[in-house]
Amino acid sequence: MSIRQYRPRNNRRRGISANQSMGLILLFAIAIGLQISYPLISGTALRYITIFTVISGALLMLAHSLISYGFRYFATFACVTFIFALLIEILGSKTGWPFGTYAYDDSLGFKIAGVPVIVPFAWIMMAHPVLIAARKTIPSWAFLYGGAGLMVWDLFLDPQMVAAGRWSWDVVGPHVPFQPEIPLSNTAGWLFAGMGLMALLNLILPKERRKSGINSTVPDLFLAWTLFSGVIGNLFFFDRAGVALIGGIAFVIWAAPYLFVISFGKPDLLK
């Protein structure tokens, strides 16, 4: 009989270290700084700022997913979201379903089947914080809450990108309120596609089982910034008060349950 010394395995996911936190903060500052610069420049520089803004936001969320949830979560999330987004965008741009008839401009760079490669990274940028919010708020209906989150984000995104000439729509039928250049079918399409992506990610990604949960400060701040910048940008820089109104109201309504949960805990009816 032998007695072996027991050495428990290190818990690599115990928490985010100080150095990792500083790295996330730096990436966050870069992403926000690029967004702040967006309404202050024009021309060719604006094209590059648009691309780098998406890349920095996606890198921020990928870094958070890796540090907080581990490599399996990170790799699965990145691959599934990129492929899903690329396929649904190819389908949408080729057939008009589910978003409506639209086409991308060449200014967004290299394309695959007519879809700029940068576009799926925009999905990655927002899908991570929205999925965290959905899983925390209504786990059983994460696909619906998460899909709605992607939909309300697009109320800010589309008018800004259309105004900059990054893509254009063939508007047939009703349009989004205060956005005559964007069909209402796009909003419905984002809800549908968002629900599909959220359902898939919620099904295949590991669930968080620690009582204390993951530190989601960076993704939460990114969501808050998305609301703030969408409202302020449209009010004071893009001269589109209607977009600020509709997008702001929709985003606040969507975010309110999540804000309640992280502030006061989850009510029994949401568990």
pLDDT in tens, 130-180: 999 999 999 999 999 999 999 999 999 999 999 999 999 999 899 999 999
H-assigned helices in 96-179: 118-137, 142-163
Check residue 267 and give its pLDDT.
76
User: What is the distance between the alpha carbons of residues 182 and 36, in angstroms, rounded to a whole number?
Assistant: 24
Check residue 4 and give its pLDDT.
46
For residue 101, the SS3 value is strand
Element (H, E) at 167: strand 167-170
Q: Which residue has the higher pLDDT, 3 or 144?
A: 144
Check residue 214 and give its pLDDT.
76
User: What is the distance between the alpha carbons of residues 107 and 102, in angstroms, rounded to a whole number?
Assistant: 15
pTM score, two decimals?
0.92
User: What is the distance between the alpha carbons of residues 146 and 3, in angstroms, rounded to a whole number?
Assistant: 51
Element counts in the chain: helices (H) and strands (E): 8, 6
The dihedral through the CA atoms of 23, 201, 136, 70 has a sign that is negative
The arithmetic mean of pLDDT across residues 212-222, rounded, is: 87
Answer yes or no: is pLDDT of 234 > 90: yes
Cβ-in-10-Å burial (0-12, 13-18, 19+) of 21 comes to middle
DSSP state of 113: T
Nearest to 15 by CA among 222, 210, 207, 223: 210
The arithmetic mean of pLDDT across residues 38-59, rounded, is: 96
Q: What percent of the chain has pLDDT over 90?
A: 86
Check residue 209 and give its pLDDT.
63
How does residue 16 score in pLDDT terms, banded at 50, 70 and 90?
confident
Check residue 92 and give its pLDDT.
97
The arithmetic mean of pLDDT across residues 189-205, rounded, is: 98
Phi, psi of 111 (to 5 degrees): -120, 150
